[in-house]
Amino acid sequence: MISRWMYMSLIILYGFLLGPFIIIFMASFGANANLAFPPQGFTLDWFTNVFETSQFIDSFWIS
């Protein structure tokens, strides 16, 4: 059985590892070209830009 300290340690570890990814994901919906958290406005332009840029498309095919 997992002790309370082990459980809390795992939560802190997962928060430390996943926190930056969650912040970047949420900031990717912002309308500003710079990384800002919380995002200022809401847009999906950055996601459409990925599928319109030839360098990204080529790297998707290669990987």
What pLDDT does 11 receive? 93
How many Å apart are CA 16 and CA 24, to the nearest integer?
Answer: 14
What pLDDT does 1 receive? 66
**pLDDT per residue over 13-42, tens digit each?**
999 999 999 888 888 888 877 777 777 788
Q: Which residues contact 38 (CB under 8 A, 6 or more apart)?
A: 26, 27
Phi, psi of 21, deg, nearest 5: -65, -40
Query: What pTM did the predictor assign?
Result: 0.61
What pLDDT does 32 receive? 79
What pLDDT does 33 receive? 76
